Amino acid sequence: MRRRLRRARAERIAPSPDRRGDGPPDRRHPPAKRYGSAFAFGPAGHFITAAHVVTGCTRIDLETAAGDRFAADLLAEAMDMDAALLRSDLQVVPAPSVRDVLTKDRPVKAVGYPEEGLMRLTPRVRTGRIAGHGRLDAYGPLYAVRIAVRGGNSGGPLFTDDGRLAGMVVAKVDRSIVFRRTGERVPQVGYAVPVQRLASFLARHDLVAPTDSDGPAEAQRVICTPSP
């Protein structure tokens, strides 16, 4: 029984969203800002990011690669897929979306603002392939992608190699925990919500996801000022 419990716990915590601000608040200092990624999706001025990036924020800003910042409002959240819908005065043409579910080994690229020692000023593009399809308890059906996902990638877009939106990055496998618990060295794997599920999220709020727009394959940085 104890062995099964340890194994089940490892399966639940191995996919690790890049969350910030866990633990009791330190009242001597204001809470640190949280950073993630976002992308244009839906009507003009609408953006998608991961819900865990913006939950509990007193202020949300979107920052472009040029360093311009625009305030954003949180319109809705879908915890069943860890998605959040934002609205801002920032105007970005959405990238076109894929129509079909991606198959295994399809080339993809994740665009976002991962933390790599120093804070990135411009988005980083990481390439990889679809590793398969799966489910996580908290997020439902997802793509598993062989891409090195880091903190700050959460909420960023996953594109096909020809620049079509395929999904949103939400989590990664915590390789160190898997190794400590199983002794196995697993490859770097991230998880992304398929764009079809994101489109259904918009439809819940009477918004239509773009399919034939011609925007670039790009991302914006999300800056969350959390509640004190």
pLDDT tens for 18-71 read: 443 344 445 556 678 889 999 999 999 999 999 999 999 999 999 999 999 999
**In angstroms, rounded to a whole number, what is the distance separating the alpha carbons of residues 133 and 195?**
13
- 194, pLDDT greater than 60: yes
Tokens of residue 182, six digits: 């199983």
* Dist CA 119 CA 150 (whole Å): 12
Locate 136 and state its tokens.
């996580």
DSSP string, 167-213: EEEEEEB-HHHHHHHH---PPP-EEEEEHHHHHHHHHHTT----SS-
Q: 5: pLDDT confidence band, cut at 50, 70 and 90?
A: very low
Question: What is 111-157 written as a DSSP string?
Answer: EE---BSBPPSS-EEEEEEEEEEEEETTTEEEEEE-S---TT-TT-E
Q: 3-class DSSP state for residue 13? A: helix
Q: Which of 87-96, 127-136, 169-178, 197-206 has the lowest mean pLDDT?
A: 169-178
Amino acid at 75: L
Rounded CA-CA distance 222/50 in Å is 10
* Token digits of residue 107: 């080339």
Domain boundaries, the chain: 107-203
pTM for the predicted model, two decimal places = 0.82
CATH of the structural domain 107-203, one choice from 2.40.10.10, 3.40.50.2300, 3.30.70.1560, 3.30.470.10: 2.40.10.10
| pLDDT tens by residue, 134-174 | 887 778 899 999 998 888 899 999 999 999 999 999 987 66
Burial (0-12, 13-18, 19+ Cβ within 10 Å), 54: buried
Residue 196 — pLDDT band, cuts 50, 70, 90? very high
